[in-house]
Amino acid sequence: MHIAPSTFGGAIEPAMHIPDGFMSPAVSIILWIAAIAGVGYALWRVNRELDERKMPLMGVLAAAIFAGQMLNFAVTGGTSGHLMGAALATILLGPWASIVVMTAVVSIQALLFQDGGLLALGANLVNMALVGSFVSYAVYRIMQRLVGTRRWGALVSGFVAAWLSIVAAALFVGLQLALSGTSPASLALPAMGGIHLLIGLGEGLITVGALALIAATRPDLLGATGGARGGSNRGVVLAGLAIALLLAVISPIASGNPDGLEWVAEQLNFLDAAQDPAYNLVPDYVFPGVANEKAATIAAGVLGVLIVFGVALFSGRLGRRKDAVG
């Protein structure tokens, strides 16, 4: 059974987990490299900074976030708000452990529940584990400077951090779809950003509720990002800020004037690009091309039927032999 959060709400959920097939191979592979670098560095930091107690903590909290994504509340007319969890994990564990926890959540969702693809896993890790944690951390720390670290300060900062982490991750999804040539930037960015400005409010509210409960019952746990356990992470604040600024600059430019992004998309989709001119530049070639294509389709169909039939026969015979032996 599929256990995306929507199974329980049957409602609109953040369209964050990109399935396979929507991104060009080049974009997928670049994002895989970024994800490996980012998660690898986070693992190294976690290994260096945190005591061995953290391993079970990260595993169980990853399970708690997975289960927490089942929780939802009705907003109106079949839509519901629910949790992604990157901001909550970042505030409670610090950015590096949060990246590891979110990596576990996103990877298990992809591997076991096909919530997000395997080739697209690199992109989903970048969006939810890296961008989600970096932006949450940067916004949380900056907000705390502005509104103070007392209870209300922590709650307000938590709300804004959770909200913006969703918006930033959604804009990244939009950018990646645009770079892959799947959705034009002028549509993908405003649509993803706009919807998640609303959906992010749900994330913000749940995060605040969770923080309020934790502040009331285990205030000691809220110290993790205060520098006591996370260490000083000015670099993370700068990285998160850089991501946010990058989005703030790129999104309007890309959606208003999509040529730049589309040019990059074309360069990246060199395989598609290499295919198209072959049909367009040599008009004489089109007709035999079409005829060949039909023949090829028929041949592929025949070959496919033969493969399936062969495997069915083979499995059937194997099963019968096993029965005879057993």
Partner 1 sequence: MHANFIDPFHARDSLLHHVDPRVKLVLAVAFILTTALLPPAAWPGYILVFALILAVAIASALGPFFAIKRAFLVLPFVLAALPVLFTTPGEPWLHVPLGRWALTATAAGLARFASIALKSWLSMQAGILLAASTPFPQLLMAMRALRVPRLLVGVFGLMWRYLFVLADEALRLMRAREARSAALAGAGGSSVLWRAKVTGYMAGSLFLRGYERSERIYDAMLARGYDGEVRTLPLPPMARSDKAALLVGLAIVGSILALEIWVG
In the bound state with partner 1, the residue whose beta carbon lies nearer, of 40 and 252, is 40
In the bound state with partner 1, the residue whose beta carbon lies nearer, of 119 and 247, is 119
In the bound state with partner 1, the residue whose beta carbon lies nearer, of 210 and 254, is 210
Query: In the complex, what is the shortest distance from the CB of residue 147 to partner 1, in angstroms, rounded to a whole number?
Result: 19
SS3 sequence of the chain: CCCCCHHHHCCCCCCCCCCCCCCCHHHHHHHHHHHHHHHHHHHHHHHHHCCCCHHHHHHHHHHHHHHHCCCEEEEECCEEEECCCHHHHHHHHCHHHHHHHHHHHHHHHHHHHCCCCCCCHHHHHHHHHHHHHHHHHHHHHHHHHHHCCCHHHHHHHHHHHHHHHHHHHHHHHHHHHHHCCCCCHHHHHHHHHHHHHHHHHHHHHHHHHHHHHHHHHCHHHHHHHHCCCCCCCHHHHHHHHHHHHHHHHHHHHHHHCCHHHHHHHHHHCHHHHHHHHHHHCCHHHHHHHHHHHHHHHHHHHHHHHHHHHHHHHHHHHHHHHHHHHC
In the bound state with partner 1, the residue whose beta carbon lies nearer, of 56 and 234, is 56
Query: In the complex, what is the shortest distance from the CB of residue 185 to partner 1, in angstroms, rounded to a whole number?
Result: 10
In the bound state with partner 1, the residue whose beta carbon lies nearer, of 106 and 244, is 106
Query: In the complex, what is the shortest distance from the CB of residue 241 to partner 1, in angstroms, rounded to a whole number?
Result: 27
In the bound state with partner 1, the residue whose beta carbon lies nearer, of 202 and 230, is 202
In the bound state with partner 1, the residue whose beta carbon lies nearer, of 25 and 241, is 25
Query: In the complex, what is the shortest distance from the CB of residue 298 to partner 1, in angstroms, rounded to a whole number?
Result: 8
Query: In the complex, what is the shortest distance from the CB of residue 243 to partner 1, in angstroms, rounded to a whole number?
Result: 22
Query: In the complex, what is the shortest distance from the CB of residue 242 to partner 1, in angstroms, rounded to a whole number?
Result: 25
Q: List Cα–Cα distances, 326 to 256, 313, 314, 315, in angstroms.
A: 69, 20, 18, 16
Query: In the complex, what is the shortest distance from the CB of residue 184 to partner 1, in angstroms, rounded to a whole number?
Result: 5
In the bound state with partner 1, the residue whose beta carbon lies nearer, of 59 and 148, is 59
Query: In the complex, what is the shortest distance from the CB of residue 159 to partner 1, in angstroms, rounded to a whole number?
Result: 10
Is residue 84 within 8 A of residue 98, CB to CB? The reply is no
